[in-house]
Chain A
C-alpha cells in the first residue's frame, strides 16, 4: 500500500496522474453542467427533487476536491475519495428512490469511474459495498423499513438480483480490463525499464570502450614514439637514458629505470634511471641480484611483475632513494627466452599503475629489447671493424717499417690502443737458447720488462708465454683469479684475463703475442680470431724484417767486399805501374838503340818484352775497370776539349803495327767536320782501340774500315771488318764480361773484358755500342757519342 500523502514523483505515475486529473475534472464539470441544466430547464418537473441535486453537487465537489489534491501531488486522496463519493451518491439515490427505481446503468457508470480512479481494488470494494447496499435496501423495503416509491406492493427479488448481476458482470469486465491494462502497462514499463537499463549499460560500455581505445591509442602512440626515438640510437648508454626519460615523461610516472645483466650474468646493474634518484643510484653502481626483488624476479622469470599497491605486498623492498613509491611494475626486456634486462617503472599513487600501463610498458620493453639488440649488433660490428682496421694498420706498419724493434713497438702500441687492452707484448723465440725473449711491450711495464731482459725458457711453468710457444697453440685465461696457470706480474697488477697467441710462419715458431685485459671474459671467438690473424701478420712482418735485416747486412758485406776488391785492385795497379815504368822504359830505350846499338834479333826480343809488359798493363786496367763497372762505380774523367781526330789517330797508330804482317788494308772514312766533344779522352780512345784491335785481330785478309760521321746530335763511329763474322748467338754474349767467342779463345789473346768495358764506357758517355754481323760476312761495330750542346 502506498502512503496516501506521500509525494509521488515517479515517471510512471505522471501519465496516470494526468488521466485521473482529467477524470476528476470531467466529473466535476459534468455534474456542474447537469445541475445547471436541471435548474434552468427542469426545476419544476424534476422527479428526484432535492436529493438528486444534493447528490449531483456532492459528486461534482468530490471530482473538484480530488482534482485539486491531485494537482498538489496527493494522488491517493482522489483514489479513495472518488469511490466513497460515488458510493455516497448511490446510497442517497437508493434511499430516496427505492430499489425498484434504480437504474443499474448509473451504478455501472460510477463503477467505471472508480475503476479508472482507484483500480481493481476500488472496483472490488465498491462492488461489494454496492451489492451489500442493494441487498440491504431490498430487505429494508420488503420489511417495510423503507417505503416502496413506485406503488408496487411487493418487490420481486429479480430487481436486486438483476442489479447485482449487472454490477458484478460489469465489475468482472472492468477488473479484467484493468488487469489486461495493468499487465500491458507493466510490460510496457518493464520493457521501457529494461531498455533504459540496456541503454545505460550500453552507454557505460561505450564509455569504457572509448576510454580503452583512447588509452590504447595513447599507449600505442607513446610506444611508437618511444620506439621511433630509440630505434635510431646506437649508443647503448644514450639508449637507456632516452628510454627512461621518455617513459617517465610520456606517462608521468614517479620513476623509471633500466637494469641490464653484468658480465657474470648473476647481477643486474642499473644502467639508466630518471631524475636525481636515478643519477645517485647510477653513480653508486646500483645492482640487484638475479631473482631478488621485483627487478630480479622479472629478470629470472621473464614475466611481468606488477604490484598495484606496495603496502599490500609482503616482502616488497623499499628503496630509500625512492621513498614515495606506491605501485611498481617490472617488465623484462627480452627477446624470446633471452632476458637482456628489466624496465622498471614506479608511481607515487596507489593504483597509479594499471594493466594498461603493464601492456604499454611491455610493448616498450619489447622495442627496447630490439633496440638493445641492434645496439649490440652495431657495437659488435663497430668493434669488429676497429679490429679489422687494426689488423690492416699492423699490416701497413709491418710492410713499411722494416726495423724490427721499431716494427714490434708500433705493433704492440697499435694493438693496445685499438682493442683497449691493458698490456700487449711480443716475445721472440731464440731456438738455440730455447728462450722466448721479451722484445716489445706497451707502456712503462713494457719498458721495464725490456730493460730487465725478461725471458722464459720454452719449458718454463707456470708461464702462459712458454706454454703457448711450447704447444704452438693459443692459450686463453678468461679469469686469472680462477686459474693457476697465470704468472702474476708485479708490473701488471690489474690483469684480469690474458691470451697468448703463438706466431708461427711456415711451421716455425717465431715468437708469441701476449695480450692482457683488466676485464675478465673479454676473449670471445671473434676477438680470438682477430688476434690469431694479427699474430700471423706480425709473424710475417717479423720474418720480412729479419730477411730485410739479413739482406741489408749481406748488401753491406758485399759492398764492403767490393770496396776492398776495388781498393786492392787500385793499389795493385799502382804497385805494378811503378816497376812497369822501369821495365817498359829501360827495355824500350834499349830496343830503340838509345843506349847503344843492338842487333835485329835483340830488338825483336826486346819488343816482345815491351808488348808483353803493355799487355800486362792493359789486363790490370781491364780488371780494375770491370770491378768498378760491376760495383756501379765507373766514373769518367771528363774534359771539354776532346779532339776526336787526335784520339782516332792515336788509336789507329797503335794498331797499325798489328796489320803489318797481314794482307789487310786499313781504310779511313772520317768526316772532316767532326766536332770537339766533352768526354773522357782516354776512355774514348780505349773504346776505339778495343774495336780496332778486335777487328784487326780477327781479320786475316781484306780490310778494316774505320769511319766517323757527324750525324745530327751525335757522332757515329764504325769499325767494319772482313773477318769471319759473328753468329747471332755469340752476338748476344760478346758484351758480357769474361765471355769470348770460340774464335776469340783460339786467339789466346785478350781478357774477354774489352767489349763489356767498351759498352759500359759508351753508355757512361750517354752513347751506344752495338754489333751488326753475319757469319762469313764480316762484322760491323758501331759506337755513338752524343754531342753536348756546346763543346
Chain B
C-alpha cells in the first residue's frame, strides 16, 4: 500500500458552480480522504484570501470561467507571489478543446484536468501531480 499523500496535502479549489464544488468536495473526502481542502466560491479579493491561508496551498485547482478574476488572472497573481513558488497550479475546466488546453499550458499552468471529473481516474491524476508528473487529462 502506498502512502496517501493527498491526505495531508493542502488543496485550494476555486469554482463558482455549486454542483462542481460539491463534486470536488465529495471526491476529496470520499474518494481520496483528503483532509485539507479550501474552497472559494469566487475570485474576489483572491490573493488576500489566498495569502490569509495558513499553511499556503500545495495544489491550487482553478476553474477558468470564474468571476471577477478568471483562471488566467488567478494564475498570474499566484505566480507573482514568491511564497507560492512550490504551489502546483492546475486548471479544472469544462473548456477542453485542444486550443484551450494549449493556451493553459502556454500560460503556465502546471497541468489541467477536464470536466467531467471521474471518480475512477481523479485520485490517480492527483497522485501523479503530487508525484511531480505533468498531467493534461481530458475525457
Task: Name A residues whose Cβ lies closer than 8 Å to a Cβ of B.
Answer: 570, 573-575, 577-586, 588-589, 592, 594-595, 613-614, 617, 624, 635-637, 639, 641, 680-682
Contact = CB atoms under 8 A, between A and B. Distances in A.
A577 B118 contact: no
B132 to A, nearest CB: 12
Given A574-B95, A585-B119, 16 more contacts: A573-B94, A573-B96, A573-B97, A577-B94, A577-B116, A581-B23, A584-B116, A584-B118, A586-B23, A594-B30, A594-B31, A614-B139, A635-B98, A637-B136, A680-B98, A681-B136
B27 interface: yes
B119 A581 contact: no
Given A581-B23, A637-B102, A588 B94 contact: no
Contact of A617 (B23, B101, B116): B116
A588 B119 contact: yes
B115 interface: yes
13 contacts: A578-B20, A578-B115, A579-B19, A581-B19, A581-B20, A581-B116, A589-B30, A589-B31, A624-B97, A635-B98, A639-B136, A681-B136, A682-B138
Contacts of A595: 26, 30
B26 A581 contact: no
A592 B114 CA distance: 21
B106 to A, nearest CB: 11
A147 B119 CA distance: 215
Contacts of A573: 94, 96-97
A582 B23 contact: yes
Contact of A637 (B95, B101, B116, B120): B101
A581 B122 CA distance: 12
Nearest to B22: A582
B135 to A, nearest CB: 10
A586 B134 CA distance: 27
Contacts of A585: 23, 26-27, 116-119
Interface core residue of A581, A583, A613 (most chain B CB under 10 Å): A581
Interface in B82-109: 94-99, 101-102, 105
Contacts of A682: 136-138
A596 to B, nearest CB: 11
B17 interface: yes
Interface residues of B, number: 30
Contacts of B99: 635
Interface in B8-37: 17, 19-20, 22-23, 26-27, 30-31
A670 to B, nearest CB: 21
A484 to B, nearest CB: 70
Interface of A (DSSP majority class)? helix
Interface of B: 17, 19-20, 22-23, 26-27, 30-31, 94-99, 101-102, 105, 114-120, 134, 136-139
Given A585-B117, A588-B118, A682-B138, A636 B98 contact: yes
A235 B98 CA distance: 73
Given A574-B94, A574-B95, A624-B97, A594 B117 contact: no
A333 B85 CA distance: 106
B26 A594 contact: yes
Nearest to A635: B98
Contacts of B94: 573-575, 577-578, 581
Contacts of B98: 635-637, 680
B30 A581 contact: no
B139 A617 contact: yes
Contacts of B114: 577
A588 B137 CA distance: 19
Contacts of A570: 95, 97
A763 to B, nearest CB: 16
Nearest to B104: A637
B13 to A, nearest CB: 13
A578 B101 contact: no
B115 A580 contact: yes
Given A581-B19, A617-B139, A589 B26 contact: yes
Interface core residue of A577, A579, A635, A681 (most chain B CB under 10 Å): A577
A619 to B, nearest CB: 13
B119 A592 contact: yes
A574 B31 CA distance: 25
A637 B96 CA distance: 11
A581 B138 contact: no
Contacts of A641: 134
Nearest to B120: A588
A641 to B, nearest CB: 8
Nearest first, the 5 A-B pairs at minimum CB distance are: A577-B94, A582-B19, A581-B116, A581-B115, A594-B30
A589 to B, nearest CB: 6
A613 B114 CA distance: 15
Contact of A582 (B20, B95, B139): B20
A577 B19 CA distance: 12
A682 B101 CA distance: 12
B82 to A, nearest CB: 29
Contacts of A583: 116
A617 B117 CA distance: 12
A592 B26 CA distance: 13
Contacts of B27: 585
B27 to A, nearest CB: 7
A570 B99 CA distance: 11
Nearest to A636: B98
Contacts of A636: 98
Contacts of B23: 581-582, 585-586
Nearest to A594: B30
B96 A635 contact: no
B117 A581 contact: yes
B26 to A, nearest CB: 6
Contacts of B20: 578, 581-582
B24 to A, nearest CB: 9
A594 B19 CA distance: 17
A506 to B, nearest CB: 46
Interface core residue of A580, A584, A637 (most chain B CB under 10 Å): A637
Contacts of B95: 570, 574
Contacts of B118: 584-585, 588
A645 to B, nearest CB: 15
Contacts of A588: 118-120
A378 B118 CA distance: 90
Contacts of B136: 637, 639, 681-682
A648 to B, nearest CB: 16
B116 A589 contact: no
B65 to A, nearest CB: 8
A757 to B, nearest CB: 13
B115 A589 contact: no
Contacts of A639: 134, 136
A573 B114 CA distance: 11
Contacts of B105: 637
Interface core residue of B23, B30, B94 (most chain A CB under 10 Å): B94
A764 to B, nearest CB: 10
Nearest to B23: A585
A639 B137 CA distance: 12
Contacts of B31: 589, 594
A201 B19 CA distance: 146
Contacts of A617: 116, 139
Contacts of B138: 682
